[in-house]
Chain A
Amino acid sequence: MSEMISVRIDDISCEVEKGTTILQACKSAGLRIPTLCYHPDLEVAGICRICVVEVEGMSGLQAACAFPIRQPITVRTNSPRIRRARRVNLDLILSEHYGDCYTCVRNGSCELQALAREYGVDRYRYPSTTAPKFRIDRSTAIVRDQNKCISCKRCIRTCIDLQQVSALETANRGHDVLIQTAFDKPISEVVCINCGQCINRCPTGALRSNMPNELLWHVIDDPEKHVIIQTAPSPRAAIGEEFGYEPGTSVTGKLNAALRRLGFDNVFDTNFAADLTIMEEGTELLTRLKKVLVDGDSSVRVPMFTSCSPGWVKYVEHYYPEYLDYLSTCKSPQQMFGALLKTYYAKKTGIDPEKMVVVALMPCVAKKFECNRPEMSDSGYKDVDFGLTTREMAVMIKEAGIHLKDMPDEDFDHPLGLGSGAGLIFGATGGVMEAAIRSVYEIVTGRPVPFKGLDVTPVRGMEGIRDAALTIENPLPEYQWLDGVTLKVAVAHGTANAKILMEKLKEGRLDYHFIEVMACPGGCLGGGGQPIPTSPEIRAARARAIYSEDHELTVRKSHENPEINQLYAEFLGKPLGQLSHKLLHTRYTPRGRFFTEGF
């Protein structure tokens, strides 16, 4: 156990581990210190100077978030001197912030607004900024509004340290400091992977997703259009937070009811397409393994990486374009679903795909970019018309006057509305891997995975990189070539962790067969489109909601989903078949790190 140090904070005496910050010590002592640039997921910056406290014996005020306790100290958290410094620093920030609160998506969830209320701000101490100075920068996924930026650098610490994408950096000095892309290019022309993690950590409305709400209302209100929504597993485990539920409350049934009342003509489950992904991706894995292990085909790449996360896909396209062959060719569940709706479902129901509008409710900002990729139109139409985030959907539900808490529980529409537990756990890091293992192992051996309650626990959890090994024994006759083979798999979440694996791959030291990567910390449940705030605790709670819902489902393996089997029987034929190839698989664009045409 590490050394304990006694601290006196105001009237409270306590013992803390050496190296604990004053902020952490205050938190555990039940004292609240206001913060702004601090975020639990990020490196400490200590730059907003809102959390300043007095430390006896030190001349200036100290930032509580950045001060490690290394010897016994006496701290004061409330004095005229502290209140004045906090208030003046807050006033300085407010005077520079373009605070047009009504027109801001963060109205009500803005940390600066909350602090101003907490400190009783009733006037601008310094002449305030009245007109916006900067043009708004907009990509298909992300909107940057520098006028609202308060230079807390949370976005930079997210982009550079947490995600190691480095699309944003500080430019200029002093009062001219700006958060900028390389050479001040539009965000759409730099290495931004659209993960949106910066949005989740921005305290104000300087970063937000590109909301399609107005357009979407327009098609919903159009009686000619048949508007279908598919909902991913993570939004249902998080959208409740926007309506006063505790993090970790699943509201699947109520959300379905709300979406119908909102005006969607069909409500489908993306988990269905997740099961389909497992069928396709699992088959692709087995095909690749056979080519490598049996045929000795050196043109086939192993390990195979998952391709469900559009942030991760774009990350590889930018940073490791020479390794794109390692990605599974499977489209993400969202895109598979879109392609099927506008072909199979249109044919089955007689709905004109021209008049069909497919909306995807996603925890993700990058899904907006993904559905707008030019190659994502294999159905002959744009496969998915709108990618909508959890936050954006919450706004629409509120706008429609729907009280989520009062909604009855309703099921999805069928067919295409049945998703297995395996599809559901796609929402958590390790979920795709677990789902794949549940099916691939059983397809190969004819027996269920040797884990209690089908819970493949080694790939679960929040460790940045996790791995597992599973030896195949007594496989079915057609998989004899796998007898005695130990399948090695790994899971990484957050592109910084993925980078560690990719660097190993570069060095030829990556000894796995199959790797799941999700661009966002925690996987989709920590996606850039999820409710704000985010923290390790909130993400863990959402994961618990997803895993416990998996346990309640009767179908928990993708290959046992009857609607999937019906789909193959009626339409697709077999996994990796000709039609699957056309509709469910895709190709990637080597983009590189520098701007070129078609970036």
Chain B
Amino acid sequence: MKNEKKKILFGEFVTGAALTRALEMGPEAVVTEVKASNLRGRGGAGFPTGLKWELTAKQESDEKFVICNADEGEPGTFKDRLLLMEQPEKVLEGMAIAGVAIGAKQGFIYLRGEYVYLKKELEEAISSMEDRGFLGSRINGGDFSFSVEIRLGAGAYVCGEEFALISSMNGYRGEPRNKPPYPSEAGYRDKPTVVNNVETLCYIPYIVTKGAQWFKEHGTRASTGTKLFSVSGDVKHPGVYELELGITVNQLLAEVGGEGAKSVQVGGASGLNVAEKDFDQPICFEGLPPGGSIIVFGHQRDMLHVLKNFMEFFVEESCGQCTPCREGNYRLLEGVRMLEKGECSVRYLKELEALCDVMKDSSKCGLGQTSPNAFLSIVENFKTEILYR
């Protein structure tokens, strides 16, 4: 990994310290601290973590669950994998603290099917922490117990969506559900459930020990903290970078050796394609949505080819439930094929852009709501290149 600025996530860490602190603080104080930190979910959607915890903590139920979403499937992301490989105890401790906060005794890591090779190491980390009294029953000799099990995905991108994930864990097809009710009310086995991304959970031990104020010193006002970026494509130094939220595309490119790029895909296939004219935009929740994936395209890249690649991905990965996503992505891919052959009229391209708007507006889940982003932004940025081939 190229990146010497190990700001937070790869910094000093003593297993168990944050959990001990959280147990001393008690659930309400933990929730308050996480809320105060303004930490937002690092899976892509950016929902405030503290609020999610608060909503789940408020529910009355005999059982609650913490799920670590390790179904890292966005094209171009590999940051969670690094955390799971190098910092499993941090992930597990974050889960245990979530358990303290919401009153859950059971956690699950929903591990991407392709990451099956990490399963053994994660299980070893779990039993090692159990042996040392950081997981399992009566942690620190107190009343709090928390155990973690691993569940494997089977290769569906959509199972990164929290309800598809829960559905898959419940033994059904991995398909998103209508909301409300939200997982905080009825999630795994219809019990209140918190679903947090791997990276999100890794910030928790630091927020608990160092405090919300310290965390807020990083990032911007609305996007506090740092963020892991999986950088790939036409750059000198691909890899995982921990950078401040609010960094501009230009700054990021300078960091990774990607100067002179034609465009940058921020946030993976479901994110936005950013052209050179917008390289001064900041990457944060109030700017370019900060998904974990940064794919850099050099000037030799054919953007229609890039778009086709993305659309093929979505056609394959849509769960196929709702009309706009099932049929819409297919129509967009067909449109790209027409463009390739020079058979797409300007009028039909407009029709497809309108389709994109409807997909964003009426799809059932985040997949269909974001899959047109690549189409819209690439067509807008490179209309001439795409239409007049």
* Minimum Cβ distance to chain A for residue B107 (Å): 28
Contacts of B357 in A (CB 8 A): 84
B35 to chain A, nearest CB (A): 21
Whether the pair B323, A61 counts as a contact (CB closer than 8 A) is: no
Would you give 27 A-B contacts (Cβ < 8 Å), ordered by A?
Answer: A46-B322, A46-B364, A47-B321, A47-B322, A48-B323, A52-B361, A60-B361, A61-B361, A81-B361, A88-B324, A92-B323, A92-B324, A92-B355, A96-B327, A127-B334, A151-B321, A153-B321, A172-B320, A173-B156, A173-B158, A175-B318, A175-B327, A175-B329, A175-B330, A177-B320, A177-B321, A177-B326
Residues of chain A from 51 to 86 with CB closer than 8 A to chain B in the complex: 52, 60-61, 63, 66-68, 70, 81, 84-85
Known contacts A88-B354, A89-B362, A92-B328; is A63 also within 8 Å of B178 by CB? yes
Q: How far is the CA of A116 from the CA of B245 in the complex (A)?
A: 48
Q: Are B358 and A89 in contact (CB under 8 A)?
A: yes
- Is residue A125 contacting chain B, with contact meaning CB distance below 8 A? yes
B358: chain A residues at CB < 8 Å are 84-85, 88-89
What CA separation (Å) do A30 and B331 show in the bound complex? Answer: 36
Residue of B nearest to A65 (CB): B178
Given contacts A49-B363, A61-B362, A174-B317, contact A93 B327 (CB under 8 A): yes
Are the CB atoms of A49 and B323 closer together than 8 Å?
A: yes
Say how far A434's CB is from chain B's closest CB, in angstroms: 39
- B328 contacts across to A, CB distance below 8 A: 92
Q: How many residues of A contact B (CB 8 A)?
A: 36
The smallest C-beta distance from A348 to any residue of chain B, in angstroms, reads: 58
Q: Which of A52, A85, A174 contacts B330 (CB 8 A)?
A: A174
The reply to whether the CB of A44 lies closer than 8 angstroms to some CB of chain B is yes
Q: What chain A residues lie within 8 Å of B326 (beta carbons)?
A: 151, 174-175, 177
> Is A216 an interface position by the 8 A CB rule?
no
Contact of B322 among A48, A96, A126 (CB under 8 A): A48
CA gap between A43 and B112 in the complex, in Å: 30
Is B37 part of the contact surface with A, judged by Cβ < 8 Å? no
Known: A60-B360, A68-B180, A88-B354. 7 other contacts (CB 8 A): A49-B322, A49-B324, A61-B361, A61-B362, A84-B357, A126-B351, A172-B320
Tally of B interface residues using CB under 8 Å: 35
* Interface residue B315 (Cβ < 8 Å from any Cβ of A): yes
Contact A174 B180 (CB under 8 A): no
Tell me whether A45 is interfacial, beta carbon within 8 Å: yes
- Chain A residues near B197 (CB, 8 Å)? none
Can you name the residue of chain B whose Cβ is closest to the Cβ of A44? B178
Most A C-beta atoms less than 10 A away, residue of B323, B354, B358: B323
A88 x B322 contact (CB < 8 A):
no
Interface centre among B173, B334, B360, B364 (most CB of A within 10 A): B364
A284, chain B: closest CB distance, angstroms: 42
| Cβ distance A48 to chain B, nearest Cβ, rounded Å | 5
Nearest chain B CB to A119's CB is how many angstroms away? 14
Q: Is the CB of B320 within 8 A of A84?
A: no
Residue of A nearest to B321 (CB): A47
- Tell me how far the C-beta of B1 lies from the nearest C-beta in chain A, rounded to whole angstroms: 34
Tell me if B319 counts as interface (CB < 8 A to partner A).
yes
CA distance A153 to B323 in the complex (A): 12
B337 → A minimal CB distance (Å): 11
User: Which one of A46, A60, A92, A170 lies within 8 Å of B320 (CB-CB)?
Assistant: A170
Residues of A within 8 A of B354 (CB): 84, 88
Taking CB as reference atom, which chain A residue is nearest B369? A60
Query: Which B residues lie within 8 Å of A66 (CB)?
Result: 178
Q: Which residues of B contact A88 (CB under 8 A)?
A: 324, 354-355, 358
Q: Which residues of A contact B (CB under 8 A)?
A: 44-50, 52, 60-61, 63, 66-68, 70, 81, 84-85, 88-89, 92-93, 95-96, 125-127, 151, 153, 170, 172-177
Most buried by B among A49, A50, A92, A153: A49
Q: With A46-B178, A60-B362, A81-B361 in contact, do A95 and B323 touch (Cβ < 8 Å)?
A: no
In the complex, chain B residues whose CB is within 8 Å of the CB of A60: 360-363, 369
Residues of B within 8 A of A67 (CB): 178, 180
Residues of B within 8 A of A177 (CB): 320-321, 326
Cβ of B28 under 8 Å from chain A? no
5 pairs of A and B residues whose beta carbons are closest in the complex = A177-B320, A92-B327, A66-B178, A174-B318, A175-B330
Q: Within 8 Å of chain A (Cβ to Cβ): is B316?
A: yes
Chain A proximity mask over B331-361: 1 for CB below 8 Å, otherwise 0: 1001000000000000000010011011011
Residues of chain A with a CB closer than 8 A to B355's CB: 88, 92
Contact call A174/B362, Cβ cutoff below 8 A: no
B316 touches A173 (CB 8 A): yes
Chain A residues positioned under 8 Å from B364 (CB to CB): 46-47, 49, 63
Nearest CB to that of A88 among chain B residues? B358
Report Cα–Cα, A177/B329, bound state, in Å. 13
CA distance A126 to B328 in the complex (A): 10
Q: Judging by beta carbons under 8 Å apart, are B323 and A93 in contact? A: yes
On whether the beta carbons of B321 and A45 are closer than 8 Å, the reply is yes
A60 to chain B, nearest CB (A): 6
| Chain B residues whose CB sits within 8 angstroms of the CB of A49 once the complex forms | 322-324, 362-364
Contact between A176 and B320 (Cβ–Cβ < 8 Å)? yes
Interface residues in B165-190 by Cβ distance below 8 A to A read 173, 178, 180-181
When chains A and B are docked, how far (Å) is the Cα of A66 from the Cα of B320? 18
Residues of chain B contacted by A172 (CB below 8 angstroms): 320
**A97 → chain B closest CB, angstroms:** 10
- Docked Cα-Cα span, A93 to B321, in Å, equals 12
Q: What chain A residues lie within 8 Å of B324 (beta carbons)?
A: 49, 85, 88-89, 92
What are the residues of chain B within 8 A of A95 when measuring CB–CB? Answer: 327, 331
Contact with A along B282-306 (1 / 0, CB 8 A): 0000000000000000000000000
- For A45, the closest partner residue in chain B by CB is B321
- B333's nearest neighbour on chain A, judged by CB, is A175
Given A84-B358, A174-B316, A89 and B323 contact (CB-CB distance below 8 Å) = yes
Please report the C-alpha to C-alpha distance between residue A44 and residue B323 in the assembled complex, in whole angstroms: 15
Residue of B nearest to A172 (CB): B320
Cα(A110)–Cα(B330), bound, Å: 25
Closest chain B residue, CB of each to CB of A86: B362
CB-nearest residue of chain B relative to A84?
B358
How far is B322's CA from A175's CA once the two chains are assembled, in angstroms?
Answer: 10
Q: Cβ of A173: which chain B residues have Cβ within 8 Å of it?
A: 156, 158, 316-320
Using Cβ atoms and an 8 Å threshold, which residues of chain A touch B178? Answer: 44, 46, 63, 66-67
Complex CA–CA separation, A27 to B326 (angstroms): 29
Expressed in whole angstroms, the Cα–Cα distance for A126 and B322 within the complex equals 17
Q: How far is it, in angstroms, between the C-alpha of A47 and the C-alpha of B316 when the chains are bound?
A: 18
Note all chain B residues with C-beta closer than 8 A to A170. Answer: 173, 320
CA distance in complex: A174, B325 (Å): 8
- Residues in chain A near residue B330, CB distance under 8 A: 174-175
Among A47, A81, A84, point to the contact of B323 (Cβ < 8 A): A47
- Which residue from B180, B315, B320 sits with its C-beta under 8 Å from A151? B320
Which of A50, A60, A67 has the most chain B CB atoms closer than 10 A to its own CB?
A60
Chain B residues closer than 8 Å to A68, beta-carbon distance: 180-181
State A93–B361 Cα separation when bound (angstroms): 17
Q: Give the CA-CA distance A44 to B180 in the complex, in Å.
A: 13
CB contacts (< 8 Å) of B180 on chain A: these are 67-68, 70
Query: What is the CB-to-nearest-CB distance from A65 to chain B, in angstroms, rounded to a whole number?
Result: 9
Decide if A85 touches B361 in the complex (CB within 8 Å): yes
CB closest chain-A residue, reference B158: A173
Nearest-Cβ distance from residue B7 to partner chain A, whole angstroms:
32
Q: Is the CB of B320 within 8 A of A175?
A: yes
Interface string of B352-389 (1 = CB under 8 A from A): 00110110111110000100000000000000000000
Nearest residue in A to B173 (C-beta to C-beta)? A170
Smallest beta-carbon distance B113→chain A, Å:
14
Can you name the residue of chain B whose Cβ is closest to the Cβ of A68? B180
Given contacts A174-B326, A175-B326, contact A126 B321 (CB under 8 A): no
Q: Which of A46, A48, A175 contacts B315 (CB 8 A)?
A: A175
Instruction: Return chain A residues, CB-CB under 8 Å to B181.
Output: 68
Nearest Cβ on chain A to B318's Cβ, whole angstroms: 4
How many whole Å from A445's CB to the nearest CB in chain B? 50
Known A85-B361, A173-B316, A174-B317: A126·B323 in contact at CB below 8 Å: no
